[in-house]
Structure 1
Amino acid sequence: MNGEVQLVYRKMRYKFLTINDENYIIDQDRRPWLVFFPFAFWMIPHTAFKIDDKDKLEQIKLSKNETKTSYFSALGVGVSLLLANLLKPLMAYLNIQTSVLMNVIILFLFLLLVTFFRFFLSNMNKNSLYNTVKLDHVNTTKLWIRPKSIKYVLAYLFAYFSFSIFSDVNFNFY
């Protein structure tokens, strides 16, 4: 069965799917482990929520209540850039010897902070959608999403491995 998948502006968590003039919402963030294994998206079934009301569908597509998330994102990027530029002259002084245990503790705390922030934003987006459509009271179905052709799989593989290789390269420009 073929369908049309529509991306939603400023809402990467959800995809709208139209199959035989029936509209569905797919919540891509129900399984957060897919971030680490993106190819599993095509290998597992997804829960799709059927939306019968056209007004609700348009309201979701056009809703402007995602500004809280964009403010947090802009604030995070701004603070990161500011700190990076302010700390650049001090990098040589901050190069201190630490034990392996201290490095593991710092890494663990950083990962805990990033995970908390990710789930906080995910929960905010979920509540935003639930305020518009009560997904507990709509019909659900399991859908298998497959790419149109092998060309998409190969392009995705190439991009995935290219970014993986470039993220592991250590560039020293100073």
Structure 2
Amino acid sequence: MKNVKVKGVTRNIRYRLIYFEGECFLVDSESGCISYFFPFLDWFIPKKMMKLSKENEKKLVVLYNDYQKKPAFLTIYAAIAIAISSFLNRIDVYFDNNLTIKANGVVLCVFIILAITFRIQMSIRAKKMVTSIMSLEAMGEQKIRIIPSSIAYMFKCFGGYLLTVLVCWATTAMFLNNGNWLMLICWLIFFLMILFLNVFSILGEDYKVQFIKSK
């Protein structure tokens, strides 16, 4: 395992820049749709990468935010969950839809499809942003695994993920049984959080990489 610096690309949720031994590499941080639901598989599934020229490196404006120094995800999600539940307890009676559980299930499935479609489109948009600047034909000539150097950061990410899943599961059950539109809105917010959490699995400063294969 070798230590590297990882930087984000401005306004791009998919690609990362890795700095190693004075050179810069572009890495596709996504591992397919499965990483939308299990974001931390990104730490174990090999990633495609390609070496960047100095010219292309300058074209991809680097985002220097160090997410390891941000407040813990767990604290943020807990505060959001408490605030939402406190607010909804007072007004949820006005948003009952009087539908059956089966009808609510159909509505939920429609929103699941729409949310996943939106997430996929965001990923495609991120790829088009990069391909408008450079060719990605060399992407995949080498593959690497990227693992955070900080165990604390890994636990923060995993804790935030578990809390988000629990809230999403709870709001799903509440919507199906009670048919309340506010529960559907809350579910949609937390479901979208799950779909986008893989953005944070490889976004920070210090990581360790393992080179898998070279052509």
| Fold in common (TM above 0.5) | yes
1:28-76: per-residue Cα shift (whole Å, max 9, x none)?
235232121122121221111221x2111111227xxxxxxxxxxxxxx
Q: Secondary structure at the match of 2:149?
A: coil
Q: Which runs of 5+ in 1 are unaligned?
A: 63-88
Matched residues in 2 for 1:32 and 1:108: separation? 17
User: Paired residue for 1:157?
Assistant: 158
Once the two structures are TM-superposed, the CA of residue 160 in structure 1 deviates from its matched residue by 3.0
Q: Secondary structure at the match of 1:29?
A: coil
- Paired letter, 1:45: P
The structure that has the greater radius of gyration is 1
1:76-128: per-residue Cα shift (whole Å, max 9, x none)?
xxxxxxxxxxxxx8962x52322232112211111111122222222122112
Matched residues in 2 for 1:104 and 1:161: separation? 23
1:27 is the counterpart of 2:37: no
Do the aligned partners of residues 167 and 113 (structure 1) sit closer, same or farther apart at CA in structure 2, a change above 3 Å counting? closer
User: Paired residue for 2:59?
Assistant: 59
Q: Secondary structure at the match of 1:128?
A: helix
User: Paired residue for 1:68?
Assistant: none
Do the aligned partners of residues 120 and 169 (structure 1) sit closer, same or farther apart at CA in structure 2, a change above 3 Å counting? closer
Preserved contact between residue 50 and residue 139 of structure 1 (Cα < 8 Å) = no
User: Paired residue for 2:187?
Assistant: none
Do the aligned partners of residues 124 and 158 (structure 1) sit closer, same or farther apart at CA in structure 2, a change above 3 Å counting? closer
RMSD: 2.8
Q: Which runs of 5+ in 2 are unaligned?
A: 63-90, 172-215
1:8 is the counterpart of 2:9: yes
- Paired letter, 1:157: F
Matched residues in 2 for 1:41 and 1:95: separation? 39
Do the aligned partners of residues 135 and 99 (structure 1) sit closer, same or farther apart at CA in structure 2, a change above 3 Å counting? same
Preserved contact between residue 6 and residue 19 of structure 2 (Cα < 8 Å) = yes
Identity of aligned residues (%): 23
Q: Secondary structure at the match of 2:148?
A: coil
Once the two structures are TM-superposed, the CA of residue 151 in structure 1 deviates from its matched residue by 2.8
Matched residues in 2 for 1:7 and 1:24: separation? 12
Q: Secondary structure at the match of 1:145?
A: strand
Matched residues in 2 for 1:125 and 1:9: separation? 10
Preserved contact between residue 50 and residue 140 of structure 2 (Cα < 8 Å) = yes
- TM-score of the pair, normalised by structure 2: 0.57
Counterparts of 1:85-124 in structure 2 under 5 Å?
92=94, 94-124=95-125
Q: Secondary structure at the match of 2:147?
A: coil
Q: State the aligned residue count.
A: 143
